[in-house]
Chains A and B, each alone.
Chain A
Amino acid sequence: MRSTPAPLNEGHKGDVMSASQAAAGTDVDVGTLLEIFRRTTLVHRTDEKFRSLLTGGTLRLVYYPVRGQEVASAATMTALRPDDYLVTTYRGVHDQLGKGIPSKLLWAEFTGKASGACKGKGGPMHITHPETGVMVTTGIVGGGLPIAVGLGLSSQLKGDGRVTVVCFGDGSTNIGAFHEAMNMASIWKLPVVFLCQNNRYGEHTPLAQSTSVANIVDRAPAYGMRAVKVDGTDAEATYRAAKAAVDRARVGEGPTLIEAMTYRMLGHVFGSNFSYVPKALQEEAVREDGVPKLRRRLLERQVLEATLAEIEQQADAEIAEAVAFALASPYPDVSEIRKDVLAQEIAA
């Protein structure tokens, strides 16, 4: 336990760094970039696999696609230590896999199987795997932010050096929990990185129609919090921003809000109509797609095509194994309904 109180916020003016400022910087080393590519590839191909199995009728579940947000997440998760904490949302496959949850446990949980990360009792919207730092996945928009404050508070009280990253969308910044959490994290200088993956839509409503500011980072100065806006399809820019925020948090310099601009290339929920997204924006999303962009960047950095292909094959193999494992696994025994409700099992 720390014996000296954390210094109170001295009224940080809440510097906001623009995307162009964030983009400028030294090259991220190739090893790190390859790691981001590995995580991006696993997420991208997992998302594709979910959609193909849903389309084919092998799976039946409510799925929130992450297409368009892979790179922003992978770059941020790569800036973390394995024991750092993650809180994410129902659109969270990219964050969970990026943080390191084993594919088999994720797939088995998504299919409600006893072998799932949470014994099939949480399901797609409630993935938890503390071993890899995946502490909470919430189905409540904004509900994870106050919990991330608590994870950060625990780390500050224990002095364990962990950093918490909480992922949420632009839509979450219009709910009260966001504002309470931002304020509390700021006054207590907690080691929390607020990663807003701005995919430009809160369910079916565009940002401009729901949000009083043009940029989510514009909200940070109201809480005296540092903020940086980045192109979330740019792996290097996102990684640099995340690394700087994580490093600051770890040494006690307090929280940062990162707004990573992404695209939601599909509907809110898989299978839903998204014709409300203007054609020009859909075309821009394809043009700016971070996944092929990162691949091209690695080739530019003299990485061999064979190296990238091998990473892709490894991802495919991991996913194939996980899908087979999930489909072959049994459902939980119905007695599970009496377990984990309270610490003590409920009497039959």
Chain B
Amino acid sequence: MSEAARISFSQGINQALDEAMAADPGVFLLGEDIADEQGGGVFKATLGLSKKYGVERVRSTPISEQAIVGAAVGAAITGMRPVAEIMFMNFLAVCMDQIVNHAAKLRFMSGGLTSVPLTIRCGTGAGVGFGGQHSDMLEAWFAHVPGMKVVTASNPADAKGLLLSAIEDDDPTLFIENVAMYAAQGPAPEPGYKVPLGKAKVLRDGGDVTVISYGRPVGEVMAVAEALGAEGVGVQVIDLRTIAPFDETTVLDAVAKTNRAVVVHEAVKAFGVGGEISSRIHEELFGQLKGPVRRVGSKYSPVPFSPPLEQAFLYSRDEIAAAIRSTLD
């Protein structure tokens, strides 16, 4: 693959699904409108796959989220590796029973006799005008449930690498895709490229403050870090990649060197994942922190429709920069 090769998020996801299906006949996809006859998915992530693997393995379903996830759970406990597409993250609210009471718990409740090697993909994200019921970032709900893994990517190569790992993983994994990023381009990874679950990546070194983020805001954080770097502020950036279980070792080791930390996510700040990460840093490093860990997230509101309101809802580069500066005061 040439150095200049680039792919979009959608293509990264499509490649991961393609490679996983080619490698393992137990991998199959189910979800609304995912077969080519129905358009290859509303975000085209499954385009071409039913032509290649057939509509039995790339299976368009009725609009029945409980049955989609339940069917995936049932197939998973027989050793198959289903990948269920739930079009929007908010629709997980209508199949929470299958995720929380069944997928997450069957391994434990069976004493390890059954496992649920299931991947649930879902799109979401504010900033594209879908309004209150198609835009929420609800990762904290699932991160709070023992037995679930939660993953999201900040670039197309990671999307491919993380999704391949999620499909091969023996635990139920929620894979969150930001709809504002489906068309975003990035360097193409090699075939078979995998990103291990549970491992964060230090994207940028800097000696003054550590910023921990994941998903779409990572790009914003990197831009802010570059700008602050020009002012002489050393910003270290960590991309969590896996939200739950999060890579506590990498985060704590990094903050132990800078003694300052900011957590940035798109989800509403209140009761978000940032609260947990901040709390763990305080619990382990309180004595050496130069100041409190700061958090940046979206405002405490349903995602609004009107563009100025939607932008006001979202975290901003200014807020990220201000939070970083405040740790230096």
Contacts and interface: CB of A to CB of B under 8 A. Distances in A.
Contact of A143 (B97, B113, B146): B97
Interface residues of B, number: 44
A56 interface: no
Nearest to A87: B74
A341 B80 contact: no
B109 A151 contact: no
A329 interface: no
Interface in A96-150: 116-123, 126, 128-130, 135-136, 138-140, 143, 145-150
Contact of A130 (B102, B107, B114): B114
A276 B114 CA distance: 40
A158 B110 CA distance: 24
B67 A122 contact: no
Interface stretch (B49-57, B290-298, B304-312): B49-57
Contact of B62 (A3, A122, A147, A184): A184
Contacts of A164: 74
B70 interface: yes
Interface string A331-342: 000000001111
A136 B110 CA distance: 8
B147 interface: yes
A181 interface: yes
A134 to B, nearest CB: 9
B76 interface: yes
Interface in A40-70: none
Contact of B111 (A121, A157, A158, A187): A121
Contact of A157 (B80, B106, B245): B80
A129 B97 contact: no
Contacts of B72: 150
B111 A135 contact: no
Contact of A183 (B62, B69, B98): B62
B75 A153 contact: yes
Given A122-B110, A180-B67, A184-B62, A6 B147 contact: no
Interface in B161-196: 169-171
A122 B111 contact: yes
A136 B111 contact: no
Contacts of B278: none
B25 interface: yes
Q: Which one of B25, B82, B108, B169 has the highest number of Cβ atoms from chain A below 10 Å of its Cβ?
A: B108
Nearest to B64: A180
- Give the size category of A's interface with B: 35 or more
B46 interface: no
B108 A147 contact: no
A130 to B, nearest CB: 6
Contact of B74 (A2, A3, A121, A149): A149
A143 B98 contact: yes
Contacts of B98: 143, 146-147
Interface of B: 25, 28, 54-57, 61-62, 64, 66-67, 69-78, 80, 82, 97-98, 101-102, 106-115, 146-147, 149, 169-171, 245
21 contacts: A1-B25, A1-B56, A1-B57, A3-B54, A128-B114, A136-B102, A140-B101, A146-B73, A149-B67, A150-B72, A151-B74, A154-B75, A157-B28, A158-B80, A164-B74, A181-B66, A181-B70, A340-B110, A340-B112, A341-B147, A342-B149
Given A1-B57, A122-B111, A138-B102, 14 more contacts: A6-B56, A118-B111, A119-B111, A123-B109, A128-B109, A128-B110, A130-B113, A150-B71, A176-B66, A183-B64, A340-B112, A341-B146, A343-B115, A343-B170
